[in-house]
Chains A and B, each alone.
Chain A
Amino acid sequence: MSRESRMRATINQRLTEKGERERLKELLRVKLTECGWKDQMKAHCKEVIKDKGLEHITVEDLVVEITPKGRALVPDSVKKELLQRIRAFLAQHAT
């Protein structure tokens, strides 16, 4: 394992240990609901389900259809805010 990947692993571990990962997850969830992302995605899900059929839809189907669109639709402001917090955490714990 290279030095860099060791450091990344350490950071990720610290992120989880300090509870920051959970807080960030919750923050992201709230922001995405507030900005309407969740409603948009739910509407897209309805399309997919109507397409594939209510009885036969699987988690895999949804993941494949939803995730790319979901990533693309996250507003820049939300990304910015999350990144700010992540950078702050890195600055604190990466030295």
Chain B
Amino acid sequence: MKMEEVSMSSLDNSKLEGLAQDILSDLVEDACLGLCFEVHRAVKQGYFFLDDTDQESMRDFEIVDQPGLDVFGQVYNQWKNKECVCPNCSRSIAASRFAPHLEKCLGMGRNSSRIANRRIVTGNNTNNKSESDQEDNDDVNDNDWSYGAEKKAKKRKSDKVLLIFFAEILQV
């Protein structure tokens, strides 16, 4: 009779459970043996105790578990409330806001050029009214390329519309 033809249906549940436990037992024993061989080889090849140092050094580098300290024993929120003086504008800035402030102040960050552009545009808008008579100020009227100016102009228009609308409603 071939092995494969043997029917398993006569193995009841308790026997199956027993079999499962035996298989687990074999696997655990295998793991233990594997460990023994690994350790034995490490001992004979001389690298088993390599990661040990003397007791004193072990104590020096033990993990620190105290409030307010990180695992190395260093204080990690020491600079939370300190203030720094900006070398550019000489203002006193909080430490956590210092880096973003420097970015804007020195004109070097990702957004600082955009903010600068917007300022130029709004500067142009206010200049427009006072310098419209001067012919030599060509770039003042050049609003085709500055998207920001159109946005501000449209915004003001829609604000006016809303104000009129609300005013009419309130009058009722």
A contact set with B: CB distance below 8 Å: 3-4, 6-13, 15, 24-25, 28-29, 32, 38, 41-42, 45-46, 49, 54, 57-59, 62-63, 66-67, 70-71, 74, 79, 82-83, 86-87, 90, 93-95
Supply 8 A–B pairs (Cβ within 8 Å), ascending by A: A10-B3, A13-B3, A28-B28, A29-B34, A45-B35, A45-B39, A54-B43, A87-B20
Interface of A is mostly: helix
B residues 1-29 with Cβ under 8 Å of A? Answer: 3-4, 6, 8-11, 15-17, 19-25, 27-29
Interfacial chain A residues near B4, Cβ < 8 Å: 10
Which of A10, A28, A66 contacts B36 (CB under 8 A)? A66
CA distance A74 to B25 in the complex (A): 11
Contact A7 B11 (CB under 8 A): yes
Contact A90 B33 (CB under 8 A): no
Contact A83 B35 (CB under 8 A): no
CA distance A82 to B34 in the complex (A): 18
Interfacial chain B residues near A38, Cβ < 8 Å: 35
Contact B32 A86 (CB under 8 A): no
Contact A82 B33 (CB under 8 A): no
Interfacial chain A residues near B11, Cβ < 8 Å: 4, 7, 94
- With contact pairs A10-B4, A82-B24 given, residues A62 and B9 touching in the complex (Cβ less than 8 Å): no
CA distance A31 to B5 in the complex (A): 36
Contact A86 B20 (CB under 8 A): yes
CA distance A42 to B38 in the complex (A): 10
Task: Identify 19 new A-B residue pairs, CB closer than 8 A, beyond the known A67-B36, A70-B35, A95-B9.
Answer: A4-B11, A4-B15, A10-B3, A10-B8, A11-B8, A24-B23, A25-B27, A28-B31, A45-B35, A46-B49, A57-B40, A59-B37, A66-B32, A67-B32, A70-B28, A87-B16, A90-B19, A94-B16, A95-B8
CA distance A32 to B11 in the complex (A): 31
Which of A4, A82, A87 contacts B27 (CB under 8 A)? A82
B48 within 8 A of A: yes
What 6 A-B pairs have minimum CB-CB distances, sorted nearest first? A70-B32, A94-B8, A62-B36, A86-B20, A67-B32, A45-B39
